[in-house]
Amino acid sequence: MIHSSARRTFLVTGAAALATGYVACGNNSSSTPVRTSGGQDLGATGDIPVGGGKVFADRKVVVTQPKEGEFKAFSAICTHMGCTVNKVANGTIDCPCHGSKYHIADGAVAHGPAQRPLPPKKITVNGKSIRLT
């Protein structure tokens, strides 16, 4: 059993160590800056074919271009069993695990077994650049 004075000393010492570490980390001018611009670059609009799309598996997002100049983004995680969709073909976003397909225009289920649409993701298109926001 720790006596109350020993416990207070431990807590004060621990708090001081944490504060020192925080200040040292916070004032390190050589540290990598935190990205505050919001979003991640996904690439160029030219990488997304009209009537098709591209899966960014590492970012868990799929970007489509249903019509010229109209870009949509959805979660790349299939709503059936959580697999990652792997391709966009013939107007659908396809999951390799159980055959679910989603419409590129709105993420709605085109073919089950999935019963829910792919959730939309926010992107911004600035010129020829697409960013996940």
Q: What does residue 11 show for φ and ψ, rounded to 5 degrees?
A: -65, -45
Where does residue 113 rank: exposed (0-12), middle (13-18), buried (19+ CB within 10 A)? middle
Does this model's pTM top 0.75? My answer is: no
- Provide the pLDDT for residue 71: 97
Written as six digits, the tokens of 66 are: 């249903």
The per-residue pLDDT for range 34-50, each reduced to its tens digit, is 333 568 999 999 999 99
The per-residue pLDDT for range 93-122, each reduced to its tens digit, is 999 999 999 999 999 999 999 999 999 999
- Cβ-Cβ contacts under 8 Å for 106 (sequence gap 6 or more): 72, 117
Instruction: Determine whether domain 40-132 maps to CATH 3.30.70.1290.
Output: no
